[in-house]
Amino acid sequence: MSTTSMKSGFLVQAIPHDEARVDMSGEATRLKPRLAQFISLHGWPRQLLETFVLLAAVTVLQRSFFGAASFPGLPHPYLLPVLLVSSQYGMSGGLSAAVAASLMYWLGFSTPSAGQDFHAYAGTFAVQPATWLATALVIGGLRSLHIHQFSELADQLAADCARGHELARGLERSIAEITALERRIATDTSSVAAISRSLADIDLSNRRTAAASCAELFRVGTGTSTFAIYLKDFVGYVPVCAVEEDTICSTRALAPLSPATIAEMVSCDTADHAMGDAADSDFCTGRYVVPLAPCGAGPAPLAVIVCELHPSQEWRHFRRRAAELGRALGTLLNACPDQILKERA
């Protein structure tokens, strides 16, 4: 008994005090064995049923093979059910088995004779029940301690498994966040490198070459894979560069656009996307026109970029980046010499 109590004390000390205060599935309340756990009547109908079945079986076997004879020096057969029930259910089951065995033993015990002393008769009758009671207390007590310690270990195992699952989930979330951050850093790095290369490839010798060389910068900056750049000319807006699915293609199939058509397209896109903003639209589809005009310039832009937007593009990000790049590229085009004016001169 003392060894088990010392182990239980060490078990309590091994758990930090902060965790003992936390009510995790009642773990802190199960650290100390209570008397109610040893004499608990949980499952008593099953215990009584099994006890009476065993006692009945022992009684039938004893009556069938040995009659009512008893063997001096040997324990009574009712000790076997008491041992079995005590070893299975602990002290509560052992006590109930001892009481049931004593009751059946009393029913089958011979009545005292007229000349027999009552105290001698009571002493003879009390020997076997006292033996069964002592057996239930010793064997049942050890079994109850075993059940209690097993319950403690099971609760600690469940708590440790829960902590392990929480740590595993936290580790998985951390790995996912680290992976997403690494991808974002890699994407940003590649985007910055691509923008740097695009800026280095811009040719400012004249407006036509500058507009054509700005296509890569616009593609990388806005993430648009299909668009066409139209430069203002004396006949209207002529195509100088076309990109389809991230690939530069010929502009022969594209017809020039008149200033009125460009003005109508810009006004329609502005109205449509203003309605989309009012409806809190997150994604954009269809056509969008980006005017390339420096700040404070005239009403007619120097060039326009007609984009075919993909449904997966985010409208707010695209519009902000397209507007910023439109102003920047318009400033570059305004600073470039006009080849048409040179030819006229």
Residue 106's pLDDT is what? 80
3-state helix, strand, coil in the chain (%, to 5): 65, 10, 25
pLDDT of residue 8: 41
| In contact, 4 and 141? CB cutoff 8 Å | no
pLDDT over 90 for what percent of the chain? 12
Residues in a beta bridge with 239 = 230
What is the CATH code for 204-344? 3.30.450
What residues does CATH 3.30.450 cover in the chain?
204-344
How many other CB atoms are found less than 10 A from the CB of residue 264?
13
Bigger pLDDT: 72 vs 33: 72
Give residue-wise pLDDT tens across range 263-298.
888 777 655 555 444 334 455 567 888 888 776 556
Mean pLDDT of the chain: 75
94-98, 155-159, 190-194: which is most confident: 155-159
Residue 107: both structure tokens together:
């029913």
Q: Give me the long-range contacts of 201-204 (CB less than 8 A, separation at least 24).
A: 202/332, 204/332, 204/335, 204/336
Tens of pLDDT, residues 59-104: 788 777 666 555 555 677 888 888 888 888 888 888 888 888 888 8
